[in-house]
Amino acid sequence: MTLDINYVREQFPGLNTDWVFMDNAGGSQILKGVVDNINEYYYSHNVQLGGSYEISQKAAAAYQKGRENIATFFNAARTEEIVFGPSSTILLQFLSKSMASQFQAGDEVIVTITDHESNIGPWVWLEEKGVIVKFWPMNKETYELELEELDKLMTNKTKLVAVVHASNLLGTINNVKEIAKFVHDRGAKICVDAVAYAPHRAVDVQDWDVDFYALSLYKTFGPHHAALYVRYDHLQELDGLYHYFYGKDKIPAKMEPGNANYELSYGSGAIVDYLVELGTQAGSTGSRRDKLVAAFDDITEQEMLIGERLLSYLRKRNDCTIIGIKDGMDPRRVPTIAFTIDGKDPEQVCIAMDKYKIAMRFGDFHARRLADSMDISKDNGAMRVSMTHYNTIEEVDALTAALDKVLRE
């Protein structure tokens, strides 16, 4: 591994504190480069787009640059395939509304029990139009979604399958490429929630051949902002959400009512700049995209090390139930680790950890249907430690040392 952890941590000024941030799935720390870009936009380009004057033209170019960078992050074929919005929840709501006219009574949509509610609720509402919504269950022993179960649900009336790429409760990565082919072979489209995946692995919407793919930039080292990939031909088919004179071909603007946030869109581009620099340090001499992929190779290795460090501790406890794959070196897992401790209230444990300045979380993490199905919604759900590549072995050891003290109290 060539990841320079000291360099990495220097890029996140918020880490310069006594706190250990282990709640990154709720929101990561922000890159200095992102904040610098936002400030630059405010100080140099803070005018409305569409004007003939020079500053407006420069503002439009900055906004476009942000979209180009995020298109590189997704590996989208066209810059216009990227839609910006306030959050992945809102973007998926936008998507379902703009697709509503494509559904007829009796059509079917399949959602998974493992998803965050953001990729369930927007599709369940289609029941009001007579659409039939089915739930794809999880294998509770392997914590995985099985194609055999999906095959039982799909019919010639299935129009869409909504699936999560990585569960924010289980930490399990689903094989989206395989699922997308399976869905497409049966004549349906696929919508993927990548919020819990994007900070940990390189995204490649072209290789996976997905139709719709959403992620939250504020959980991927950026500002409170989000992006949705919509394949170009599908984007043309969507009903517009903006003014009536924004026709079907005015893309992606027709999906960004009121305009996307200019400064956050430009600022988010620094995420890619950062990853490209990590890839350069890793020895990649290829394109910006090649360097980004190389960066994620190192990120994955770092995250496996810290994930296994915590999981090895939890496996040794006879009072602990790990929710998800128990091996941190398993490539099907991200370091988002939920667990319960016999006889301990997750809320009280997290509160007790606060005095050690360890930031973690308890609850169902908006994966309520999954938590209900696993019977962990009651009694304040589970505890979750969610790490990313800027976390260190030393921080994991501080976490487990504090947890030992708290659980003895």
pLDDT value of position 377: 77
How many angstroms separate the CA atoms of 17 and 332, rounded?
A: 32
pLDDT band at 372, cuts 50/70/90? confident
pLDDT at 220: 98
* CATH superfamily to which 5-30+287-408 belongs: Aspartate Aminotransferase, domain 1 (3.90.1150.10)
Q: Quick one: pLDDT at residue 247?
A: 84
Task: Name the band, by pLDDT with cuts 50, 70 and 90, for residue 248.
Answer: confident
Share of the chain above pLDDT 90, in %: 91
Residue 137: what are its φ and ψ, rounded to 5°? -80, 165
Mean pLDDT confidence for 249-255: 93
Q: Which residues contact 212 (CB under 8 A, 6 or more apart)?
A: 95, 189, 190, 191, 192, 228, 229, 230, 231, 234
Q: What is the pTM of this model?
A: 0.97
Give tens-digit pLDDT for 5-19: 999 999 999 999 999
Q: What is the pLDDT of residue 1?
A: 63
Q: Residue 238's pLDDT is what? A: 96
> Mean pLDDT across the stretch 295-314?
98
pLDDT digits (tens, 9 = 90+) for 91-136: 999 999 999 999 999 999 999 999 998 999 999 999 999 999 999 9
Contact predicate 231/83, CB 8 Å = no
Q: Where are the domains of the chain?
A: 5-30+287-408, 34-272
Q: What's the average model confidence in pLDDT over 367-392?
A: 90
Q: What is the mean pLDDT of the chain?
A: 96
Residue 240: DSSP 8-state: P
CA 115 – CA 214 distance, rounded (Å): 13
Band of residue 142 on the pLDDT scale cut at 50, 70, 90 = confident
CATH topology for 34-272 is Aspartate Aminotransferase; domain 2 (3.40.640)
Tokens representing residue 62 in the block: 């900055």
| pLDDT of res. 21 | 98
> Which pLDDT value is given to residue 2?
82
Residue 7's pLDDT is 98
